[in-house]
Amino acid sequence: MKHLFLSLIVALLATTACTTNTNTQSSDSQTATPQAQSDENPVIETILSRRSIRAYKNQAVPRELLQQIAECGINAPNGMNAQQWELRIVDSKEWLDNATAAYKKSVKPDSPMAKQFADPSFKNMFRNAPAVIFIAHKAGPCTQVDCGLMAGNIVLSAKSLGLGSVCMMGPLGFFSTPEGEPFLKSLSLSEGYKLLLCVGIGYADEQPDARPRNKEVIKFIEQ
């Protein structure tokens, strides 16, 4: 009986402690400033800490992560939920190397683009990323915006999974050249769809500082 009585007291004290903590947390959350809430918000932290990465480790990205990132991409808002977009994921080193070799042939030796080939760190035309997600769209009034929102989801989900990323449009000019045509064909895009941008993804090998943002562009309209 004595042991039972002691057990009831311990249980009562534990319940009281939990209730006290809950009440304290509730009170704290009510009095917390918006800034404090932002600092503890993982979504806001991911947005503010994301950087465009142009140096990657020689480490493959698991396909399950690439699949998860792509699924985050297609969950972006889009006009009338038409989903007039297509994604193609390339993580084949052979494909990236072959495309880069063909790209080098298509670039004139005296052009500004040729300067990158002299960089000892140059590996491929997609900022050396070991994986690339190509985003294509069907021309329409909303589809470019839709794909931009998709790319936003992609880079943020990549960051949240410990990966770096960089959005690119420059390399896509290659696919309109004779050298790039076979590689465009290999992406097997549906009829009527055209490449709009691509996102390089990999494990970051740099930690660039944030570039200043002009907050003066934000204005509240009172009347």
Q: CATH second-level architecture of 50-202?
A: 3-Layer(aba) Sandwich (3.40)
- pLDDT (tens digit per residue) in 111-140: 888 999 999 999 999 999 999 999 999 999
Beta bridge partners of 165: 52, 201
Nearest residue to 56 (alpha-carbon basis) of 96, 95, 101: 96
Could you give the CA distance from residue 145 to residue 141 in angstroms, rounded to a whole number? Answer: 9
pLDDT band at 40; cut points 50, 70, 90 = confident
Q: Which residue has the higher pLDDT, 33 or 90?
A: 90
Position 15 pLDDT exceeds 50: no
Strand arrangement, sheet containing 131-138: 85-90, 131-138, 193-202, 164-168
Question: Given the structure tokens 């309209």, which residue do they identify?
Answer: 221
Q: Which residue has the higher pLDDT, 33 or 114?
A: 114
Q: Which residues of 114-139 are buried (b: 16+ CB within 10 A; e: fewer)?
A: eeeeeeeeebbbbbbbbbbbbbbbbe
Could you give the CA distance from residue 40 to residue 36 in angstroms, rounded to a whole number? Answer: 7
Domain layout of the chain by residue ranges: 50-202
Phi, psi (rounded to 5 degrees) for 141: -65, -20
Alpha helices in the chain (DSSP H): 2-31, 34-39, 42-49, 63-73, 93-106, 143-160, 181-186
Residue 38, pLDDT score:
54
Is residue 219 helix, strand or coil? Answer: coil
Could you give the CA distance from residue 200 to residue 219 in angstroms, rounded to a whole number? Answer: 33
The amino acid occupying position 4 is L
Could you give the CA distance from residue 154 to residue 81 in angstroms, rounded to a whole number? Answer: 18
- pLDDT (tens digit per residue) in 184-209: 999 999 999 999 999 999 999 999 99
Q: The whole model's pTM is what? A: 0.82
Q: CA 102: distance to chain centroid?
A: 27
